Amino acid sequence: MLKVSPVSDVQPNKELYLNRELGVLAFNRRVLAMAQEPHIPLLERLRYLCIVSSNLDEFFEIRVAGLQEQIRQNPDFFENDGMTVAETLRRVSQEAQELVDLQYRLLNQEVMPALKNEGIVFLTTNLWNEEQAHWAKQYFKSDVLPVLTPIGLDPAHPFPRVLNKSLNFAVELSGNDAFGRASRVGIVQAPRALPRLVRMPQAISGHPHAFVLLTSIMQAFVPDLFPGMEVHGVYQFRVTRNSDLYVDEEEITNLRVALQGELSQRHFGDAVRLEVSDQCSESMVRRLLKEFNLNEQALYRVNGPVNLVRLMQVPDLIDRPDLKFMQFTPGLPAALNVEPDIFAAIQKGDVLLHHPYQSFNPVLEFIKRAAQDPHVVAIKQTIYRTGTDSALMEMLLAAARSGKEVTVVLELMARFDEEANIQWASKLEQVGAHVIYGVVGQKTHAKMLMVVRREKSNGGKTVLRRYVHLGTGNYHPRTARLYTDFGLFSCDDALGQDVHEVFNHLTGLGRAKKLNKIWNSPFNLHANVVAAIRKEADNAREGKKARIMARMNALLEPHVINELYAASQAGVKIDLIVRGVCTLRPGVPGLSEHITVRSVVGRLLEHSRVFYFYNGGQEDVFISSADWMDRNFFRRVELAVPITDRRLKKRVLDEGLKVLLADNLMAWGMHSDGSYTRKKPTGKRRVHAQLQLLSNLTVNFKDPLLEVPSAD
């Protein structure tokens, strides 16, 4: 039997841990598999292709950039799985190249031909007839040419600074220009103001929905920018840069000012990936690699647009409901149907929302009512991501204008949302709200909202009652339609005191007090999770029933992984639902044979975090903002909230764990080597978790496009 290290001693070990970066790429393979499914609506298949590109962009900007930085600082560093950083980078490049090749083959050989059959075409230059070429030429002259700036490389015109992920063209030239210069290379950067996708009129295209990519237009007519020169090739390219922000937390005196200074440089970090069209000449490829200080390992040749993310808008531009997932109307929990007054409903008992199957509107209504209610004296909320256009934030602004005490703990370091959050911070401060940026070095990732309301008690005495909302997802109305998350409304006094105390941790000074019910990091969440796992192991050794179920986005923290191994060795049955990367090895005899890991990838992004411990029959159930990762346990402010109401606990178990564990159509089972296999029905029972929840919780939902053909 392989013994795991004690909690205090974690060493790199390939027998215990899988590689994190390879796990991220494995997740994207599962997403890409959605684009391969013939039963998925066609425009949604295109969307999945684009999602993979978006995911890979962030993967290179953050994870691969981090590996390259680690090589510079400590090339001998070993990952937890025992690989050196250089070996990890080599494996990542190999796996990513295979993934990208598959992605473009799928685009060109399956999705694009199928779209063409439906009257949706992308007209490349080789497909233009004379009339279409004339239309494209006129569009280039009127809408594109006036904003282009061609740059011929010579001693007076060095290689330009290229923005992160921007579209650019390298032009191979010969001949002399008007000044007698003999430049061999020109660079044309496509301004960000230009649309990357242009609709061609049906009368000219001959198709109901015809689009021309900006890349096609520029490749056809960029030679016009170099009159008198001979153009031998025009090649699109795109460079991805390190986009992680670095702020010296020991030196800064104003986090907001420091971040504003860093944001302006995000677009010009060190290059980590070069994408070029597959027709690009070898000489131009070598020139570009040299300019960006990259090696062949960072080069990605693609057969198509270098930025598939730009095609994400296509489904929204086409009115073809038959080629998309059927729309649904989110439902409401029974408590809010019976009692529409949100405060009155919460007074009668805790209220659970399961998004997006159930509406996010009650959360917005809660804040709106709080902003307008003369009995409400204070509103406190954490904000991690909410977007640039947010009705929720407007309500907080209105509450502050009306004279209520509004406190917002706004996380400025929410990756890729820093700029939006800075803008909201400024607006809130202008209307007199208290804006706190959390704790330097500890991202505030907890999802909590508290409303303090002046009410009459049963005895007629005026009291202040705390109403709280605690969730697993961000206060972002748009993603609340796409991400699965739980949210709990309560006016339980113990929970209210806990939330009040956590806000005091964030806004004030002093030692953290022990909370009544909530587990929170960085203080006791990790220790309590470890203790709960150990208790299940102890019970199993004593011959008692023991059970762990947990659902999260990622499982990486090695101490918790070791405790799960030890619990498995004690005989605890452990079922884990991990959407993304998992570095635990399941199903290893003598180590983790009682642990299963599965990932569910479907129409909706699985985002809820739910923890279950049998605990001698007490059956402890928590919803949480935290994944089981180092950062969530030790470098973030996170909450795990117990569900104590018997009916709501059953709902979380049934809707948040059991149905996903029963899914045999959209779930993937993980093997001990980190690979995944799609689950298949073994009998007549076929379970599609998301479809089942859509059918049970939304209003009159029936989507035949999600009916999966029989595995037989």
CATH of the domain at 256: 3.30.1840.10
d(CA 187, CA 623): 52
Structural domain contains residue 391 = yes
Q: Within this chain, do residues 154 and 200 fall inside the same structural domain, yes or no?
A: yes
Q: What CATH code is carried by the domain that includes residue 468? A: 3.30.870.10
Token duo for residue 658: 């059991």
Taking the CA atoms of residue 501, residue 630, residue 670 and residue 708 in that order, the dihedral angle to the nearest 10 degrees is 40
Q: How many domains does the chain have?
A: 3
Binding site listing for ATP? 55, 483, 579, 607
Q: Within this chain, do residues 59 and 201 fall inside the same structural domain, yes or no?
A: yes
pLDDT at 263: 43
pLDDT at 10: 75
pLDDT at 459: 75
Binding site listing for Mg(2+)? 385, 415
Domain boundary residue among 449, 483, 517?
517
Q: Within this chain, do residues 422 and 290 fall inside the same structural domain, yes or no?
A: no
Q: Within this chain, do residues 278 and 160 fall inside the same structural domain, yes or no?
A: yes
Q: Are 428 and 482 in contact (CB under 8 A)?
A: no
In this predicted structure, the answer to whether residue 248 has a pLDDT above a threshold of 80 is no
Structural domain contains residue 636 = yes
* Mean pLDDT for the chain overall: 89
pLDDT at 703: 52
Q: Within this chain, do residues 56 and 176 fall inside the same structural domain, yes or no?
A: yes
Structural domain contains residue 329 = no
Query: Of 602, 610, 603, whose CA–CA distance to 664 is shortest?
Result: 602
Cross-strand partners of 209: 120
Q: Within this chain, do residues 318 and 361 fall inside the same structural domain, yes or no?
A: no
Which amino acid appears at position 300 of this protein? Y
Q: Within this chain, do residues 317 and 342 fall inside the same structural domain, yes or no?
A: no
pLDDT (tens digit per residue) in 403-451: 899 898 887 654 555 666 677 777 888 888 888 877 767 888 999 999 9
d(CA 506, CA 442): 10
In this predicted structure, the answer to whether residue 372 has a pLDDT above a threshold of 60 is yes
Per DSSP, which regions of 405-542 are E strands? Answer: 405-410, 434-436, 443-444, 447-456, 462-471, 483-490, 519-521
pTM: 0.91
- Peptide bond just before 362 cis, omega within 30 deg: no
Which amino acid appears at position 621 of this protein? V
Q: Which residues of 273-308 are buried (b: 16+ CB within 10 A; e: fewer)?
A: bbbbbeebeeebbebbbebbebeeebbbbbebbbbb
Cross-strand partners of 235: 170
Structural domain contains residue 129 = yes
Per DSSP, which regions of 180-290 are E strands? Answer: 185-189, 197-200, 209-213, 230-241, 271-277
What is the band of 179 on the pLDDT scale with cuts at 50, 70, 90?
A: low
Query: Mean pLDDT throughout 449-465?
Result: 89
* Strands 299-302 and 271-277, bridge-based pairing: parallel
Of 555 and 66, the structure prediction assigns the larger pLDDT to: 555
Q: Within this chain, do residues 557 and 510 fall inside the same structural domain, yes or no?
A: no
Q: Within this chain, do residues 451 and 562 fall inside the same structural domain, yes or no?
A: no
Structural domain contains residue 70 = yes
d(CA 182, CA 682): 70
445 is catalytic: yes
Q: Within this chain, do residues 360 and 221 fall inside the same structural domain, yes or no?
A: no
What is the band of 153 on the pLDDT scale with cuts at 50, 70, 90?
A: confident
Q: How far is CA 621 from CA 429, 610, 632, 645, in A?
A: 38, 7, 19, 10
Q: Within this chain, do residues 190 and 279 fall inside the same structural domain, yes or no?
A: yes
d(CA 376, CA 451): 7
Which amino acid appears at position 672 of this protein? S
Domain of 201, in residue numbers: 20-323
d(CA 259, CA 255): 6
CA atoms within 13 A on the CB side of 597: 29
What are the phi and psi torsion angles at 78 (to 5°)?
A: -105, 135
d(CA 651, CA 646): 9
Q: Which of 204-208, 264-268, 467-471, 484-488 has the lowest mean pLDDT?
A: 264-268
Structural domain contains residue 85 = yes
Domain boundary residue among 517, 545, 576?
517
Among the listed residues 445, 476, 594, 688, the single catalytic one is 445
pLDDT (tens digit per residue) in 631-687: 999 999 999 999 999 999 999 999 999 999 999 999 999 999 999 999 998 887 899
Structural domain contains residue 39 = yes
d(CA 237, CA 327): 37
Q: Within this chain, do residues 194 and 253 fall inside the same structural domain, yes or no?
A: yes
Binding site listing? 55, 385, 415, 483, 579, 607
Domain boundary residue among 495, 517, 539?
517
Structural domain contains residue 2 = no
